[in-house]
Amino acid sequence: MTDVAHTPTSSRWWVVAFLVATFGTAALKVTGTLTGPFSTALFLASFLLVIPMARAQQRAMAARGEGSPAMSRYSRRFMVASIAYVALFFAAMWIARTYAPVTAIRVMLAFTAALPVMFMIRAMALLLREEDDEYLRSRLVDQSLIATGFMLTIATLYGFLNAFDVAPRVDAWAAFPLWAVGLGLGRLIQGDRAC
């Protein structure tokens, strides 16, 4: 059984492990240090850390008195959508690269890869609607505002760097992961202000 006093620290370590594993394997793949199917499998396997990370975060929230049935439903929805996203994204990319389908099929593949992200956004909206505790809902709204401000600030600054030809172009799909980083930042900021 996990000691409740150590749960918040455990949660942070799972977040660090997830970020190191995903970004680390991605960096090794991009730099050519790891190649072939093994590198892709290792990268995909790193996303399985979402499961213990989400469970540790739920325990940490319960230890701080922030757990709720709505948050449990949100965690399940988000975890399923996250795993579906990774699977569908890589499947769609593999099909596009292997078979070089016509444009209409590529459009369908793009929508298929984006569909789980839409379910993640839906999970967030349902959380705000289903959360009965006004204090917890207020914290969620604050986190969302911090995430939105973070994303808009980074996107604006980067957009100007790009406009002045001092930064490479970044695809628009990066907006959601950037917003999610801001959400994590919002949680960290709120953790420092917790009562």
Domain end (from 132, 164, 186): 132
- What pLDDT, in 10s, does the model give residues 10-41? 777 887 888 888 888 878 877 888 787 787 78
| pTM, full prediction | 0.74
For residue 110 the two structure tokens come to: 């793009």
Question: How many C-beta atoms lie closer than 10 Å to residue 140's C-beta?
Answer: 23
* 61: nearest Cα among 151, 116, 70: 70
Q: Is the pLDDT of residue 1 over 50?
A: no
Domain end (from 109, 132, 155): 132
Question: How many C-beta atoms lie closer than 10 Å to residue 2's C-beta?
Answer: 11
Domain span at residue 174? 134-195
State whether 120 and 100 are in the same domain.
yes
pLDDT for 8 equals: 57
- What pLDDT, in 10s, does the model give residues 51-110? 888 788 778 777 877 778 898 899 889 889 988 988 898 899 889 989 989 999 999 999
State whether 127 and 144 are in the same domain.
no
State whether 43 and 30 are in the same domain.
yes
Based on the structure, what is the number of domains in the chain? 3
State whether 115 and 157 are in the same domain.
no
Domain end (from 116, 132, 148): 132
pLDDT for 163 equals: 93
